[in-house]
């Protein structure tokens, strides 16, 4: 449904209802004021009780949705509830919705997309993956001309900031995380970023765009960077590697393979060059052509930039983003294997680790190992069991020719 902008003003400005006024919400307000004031204006902002301290701020979703000047609602609350309820109410009120909430779209994307279609409006979520990178919209355009065979990259700017800072400044994990929080790259509760859940949500959401398939999220192996220590980074650098949190999904002969894990990259890998809060999001098509997009992946303004793209898309009569036909499958990682670096204490006894070890270094009370190639899901499962005994650190070893 084409947005009717004539009722708001002679210069076609569209009224925006903003849910939430945190880092991203403030970033969007800044962008709209500086770069898009001729196209959009914020009519009302929903804030928590006692936080509505301006004339355009309200404490009730009903006060926002009842405003006839608002044609598009932008959700910047995060989390599942009340964001899901508010989006459904907005869609039923015939207002298009833009969100960066990748966890919400992963869990309820089908429901929200159906609700949008039933009410003749649009749901868009470009900012849910890649921060300021137009990755999802690029995948949609690429699919019009060719099939995609693989997707992946560094999809979490917070974890990349932490790892890059530990590499370049030899600081502790806690110090790097604290600075990320100070700069607005990490939330007060950083669990989603450092445990890999944010990257997991992003690669799964990218997968439904690229492959028309929702992969059962519980079937995707996922580990984060929470157990990494300064000595681990120093040892990795001594081997000539860089470490990054990596996510990928690949179309295989058996279906789809996928995982999220820290990985080691040689200096000539593109991922090794990604610094600070930046992301790299790439795709490979069936002819083997590999293309990558690089940009800021965390912070208010980068995310707000992708939200602004979606606002313009809706203004220009764009459709929703989820494919019309979508299936649901488990992953099959049987074709996917590579080597790992593993750090344990000297006291940990594991016949499995000993059996797959190719190289071993003993440094004080810790042991570093490089394993032979092992099937990814099997390795993750076994490491999960060993992590019940102590905070093991492990990372895959990525070879450029397999990218």
pLDDT per position as a tens digit, 102-144 = 999 999 999 999 999 999 999 999 999 988 899 999 999 999 9
Burial class (CB in 10 A: 0-12, 13-18, 19+), 281: buried
Return mean pLDDT, the chain. 93
Q: Where are the domains of the chain?
A: 14-124, 133-297+334-403
CB atoms within 10 A of CB 250: 21
DSSP letter for 249, please: E
Q: How confident is the model at residue 300 (pLDDT cuts 50, 70, 90)?
A: confident
Q: What is the mean pLDDT of residues 59-78?
A: 96
pLDDT (tens digit, 9 = 90+) per residue, 187-196? 889 999 999 9
Band of pLDDT at residue 186, cut at 50, 70 and 90: confident
Domain 14-124: homologous superfamily in CATH: NAD(P)-binding Rossmann-like Domain (3.40.50.720)
Average pLDDT for 317-329: 93
Is the peptide bond prior to 82 cis by the omega test (within 30 degrees of 0)? yes
The full DSSP string for 336-394 is -EE-EEEEEETT---HHHHHHEEEEEEETTEEEEEEPPEEHHHHHHHHHHHTTTS--EE
- Does 202 participate in catalysis according to the annotation? yes
Q: At what angle do helices 157-169 and 230-238 cross, to 10 degrees?
A: 70
For 254-280, give one letter per residue: b (16+ CB within 10 A) or e.
Answer: ebbbbbbbbbbbeeebbbbebebbbbb
- Using alpha carbons only, give the angle 173, 179, 180 rounded to the nearest 5 degrees: 85
Q: What tokens appear for 209 in the block? A: 């765009």
Q: Give first-to-last CA distance, the chain, whole Å.
A: 41
- CATH 3.40.50.11540 is right for the domain spanning 133-297+334-403: no
Confidence band of 51 (pLDDT split at 50, 70, 90): confident
Question: Phi then psi for 81, rounded to 5 degrees?
Answer: -120, 140
Can you give the pLDDT at residue 3? 43
Of the listed 95, 165, 202, 251, which one is catalytic? 202
pTM score of the predicted model: 0.92
Residues 6+ apart with CB under 8 A from 30: 301, 304
CA dist., res. 92 & res. 121, Å (int): 9
Which of 4-13, 56-65, 105-114 is predicted least confidently?
A: 4-13
């Amino acid at each position: 449904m084409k947005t009717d902008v004539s009722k708001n003003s002679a210069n076609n400005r569209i009224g925006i209802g903003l849910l939430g006024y945190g880092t991203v919400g403030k970033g969007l307000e800044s962008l709209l004021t500086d770069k898009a004031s001729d196209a959009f204006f914020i009519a009302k902002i929903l804030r928590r009780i006692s936080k509505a301290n301006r004339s355009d701020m309200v404490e009730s979703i009903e006060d926002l949705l009842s405003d006839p000047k608002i044609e598009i609602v932008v959700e910047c609350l995060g989390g599942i509830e009340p964001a899901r309820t508010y989006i459904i109410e907005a869609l039923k009120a015939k207002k298009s919705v833009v969100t960066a909430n990748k966890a919400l779209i992963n869990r309820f994307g089908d429901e929200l997309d159906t609700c949008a279609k039933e009410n003749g409006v649009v749901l868009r979520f470009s900012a849910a993956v890649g921060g300021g990178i137009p990755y999802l919209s690029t995948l949609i355009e690429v699919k019009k001309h060719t099939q995609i065979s693989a997707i992946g990259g560094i999809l979490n700017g917070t974890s990349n900031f932490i790892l890059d800072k530990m590499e370049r400044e030899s600081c502790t994990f806690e110090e790097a995380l604290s600075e990320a929080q100070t700069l607005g790259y990490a939330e007060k509760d950083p669990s989603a970023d450092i445990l890999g859940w944010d990257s997991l949500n992003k690669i799964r959401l990218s997968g439904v765009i690229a492959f028309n398939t929702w992969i059962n999220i519980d079937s995707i192996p996922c580990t984060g960077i929470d157990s990494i220590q300064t000595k681990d980074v120093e040892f990795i650098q001594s081997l000539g590697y860089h470490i990054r949190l990596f996510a990928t999904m690949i179309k295989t002969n058996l279906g789809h393979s996928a995982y999220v894990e820290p990985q080691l990259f040689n200096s000539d890998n593109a991922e090794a060059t990604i610094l600070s809060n930046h992301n790299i999001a790439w795709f490979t098509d069936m002819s083997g052509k590999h293309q990558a997009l690089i940009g800021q992946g965390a912070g208010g303004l980068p995310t707000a930039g992708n939200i602004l793209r979606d606002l313009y898309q809706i203004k220009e009569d764009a459709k929703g983003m989820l494919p019309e036909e979508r299936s649901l499958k488990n992953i099959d990682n049987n074709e996917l294997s590579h080597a790992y670096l593993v750090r344990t204490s000297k006291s940990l006894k594991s016949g499995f680790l000993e059996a797959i070890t190719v190289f071993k270094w003993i440094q004080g009370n810790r042991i570093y190992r490089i394993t032979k190639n092992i099937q990814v899901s099997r390795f993750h499962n076994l490491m999960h069991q060993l992590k019940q005994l102590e905070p093991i650190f492990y990372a895959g070893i990525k070879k450029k020719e397999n990218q």
